[in-house]
């Protein structure tokens, strides 16, 4: 019993999406877990791998198309905008700029800053080996600290986790 | 708790999750065991979050007060 209580807790996350809005939750969860003294690891797979890509991680975007939760691009216009207008050229850029501006106003860190906090807290960053193979991503394209690993490695890590989430 | 017993003050006013907890975790590591940190926050989520921090880390939240929308926590390093 006592040993059980002393065991360090572990968080295992899968980050499967590569949009700006979906990059925040896994990094916030993992950095918080590390701050509480937990072990934490994130398996970045499919488009989620973009979060570890040196050239892409600062340019993740918000997709307004097919996202009815996206607010209208003109805050002054109280009417909702039909979601199909998200298909217009430039709408993705506008939605992305809006979210970045909210984040700045709320003094939230950038994705890169959150990744640094995760690394500082010894969060394991697993880069899905299959995604790297399928999408032709080389280790050199990934940030320092990212480790190429397969599902076997992650499942073995997650088997000892107290909390596992798929994002 | 008098001012003299507070080892350091951490101002997290205007900051949102996860920054206050990350800063607090670093601040706790920077003081002696038994020392008390005063933490100021405005995020209402910090109230349940500080309870969870105490439960998960063992560091004790000795006191919690609120005035004009600012929460003040006294956190004591346990180990």
Strands (E), chain B: 6-12, 36-41, 60-67, 70-76
pLDDT at B50: 95
pLDDT at A1: 43
pLDDT at A76: 56
Would you tell me how many other CB atoms lie within 10 Å of the CB of residue A90?
A: 8
E strand or H helix that includes residue A163 = strand A163-166
Per the structure, the count of domains in chain B is 1
Q: Containing domain of residue B36, as a range?
A: 3-76
Residue of B nearest to A24 (CA): B18
Tell me whether residue A52 is in a domain. Answer: yes
Q: What is the CATH number of the domain that holds A40?
A: 3.40.1260.10
Q: Containing domain of residue A140, as a range?
A: 2-59+109-166
pLDDT at A70: 74
| Helices and strands (H and E) in chain A: how many | 6, 5
Q: Are B66 and B52 in contact (CB under 8 A)?
A: no
pLDDT per 10-residue tile (average), chain B, 79 residues: 78 95 96 96 93 95 96 96
- Which ipTM was obtained for this model? 0.83
Per the structure, the count of domains in chain A is 1
Tell me whether residue A87 is in a domain. Answer: no
pLDDT at A147: 94
Chain B residues closer than 8 Å to A34 by CB: 22, 25
Q: Kindly determine whether residue B56 and residue A37, on different chains, have CB atoms separated by under 8 Å.
A: yes
Tell me whether residue A45 is in a domain. Answer: yes
Q: What is the CATH number of the domain that holds B13?
A: 3.30.110.40
Where would I find the H helices in chain A? 2-6, 20-35, 91-105, 111-120, 129-135, 151-159
Mean pLDDT of A28-48: 97
């Amino acid at each position: 019993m006592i040993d059980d209580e002393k065991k360090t807790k572990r968080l295992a996350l899968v980050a499967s999406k590569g949009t700006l809005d979906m990059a925040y939750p896994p990094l916030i969860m993992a950095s918080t877990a590390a701050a509480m003294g937990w072990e934490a690891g994130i398996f970045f797979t499919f488009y989620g791998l973009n979060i570890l890509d040196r050239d892409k991680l600062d340019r993740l975007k918000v997709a307004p198309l097919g996202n009815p939760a996206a607010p209208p691009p003109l805050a002054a216009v109280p009417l909702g905008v039909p979601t199909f207008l998200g298909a217009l050229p430039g709408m993705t850029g506008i939605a992305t700029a809006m979210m970045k501006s909210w984040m700045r106003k709320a003094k939230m860190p950038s994705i890169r800053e959150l990744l640094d906090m995760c690394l500082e807290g010894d969060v394991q960053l697993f880069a899905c080996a299959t995604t790297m193979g399928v999408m032709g991503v080389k280790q050199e394209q990934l940030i320092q600290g990212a480790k190429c690993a397969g599902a076997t490695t992650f499942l073995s890590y997650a088997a000892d986790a107290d909390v596992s989430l798929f994002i | 708790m008098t001012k003299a017993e507070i080892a350091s003050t951490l101002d997290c006013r205007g900051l949102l999750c996860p920054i206050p907890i990350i800063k607090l975790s670093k601040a706790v590591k920077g003081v002696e065991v038994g020392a008390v940190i005063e933490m100021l926050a405005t995020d209402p989520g910090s109230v349940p979050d500080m309870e969870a921090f105490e439960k998960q880390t063992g560091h004790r939240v000795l006191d919690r007060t609120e005035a004009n929308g600012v929460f003040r926590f006294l956190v004591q390093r346990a180990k």
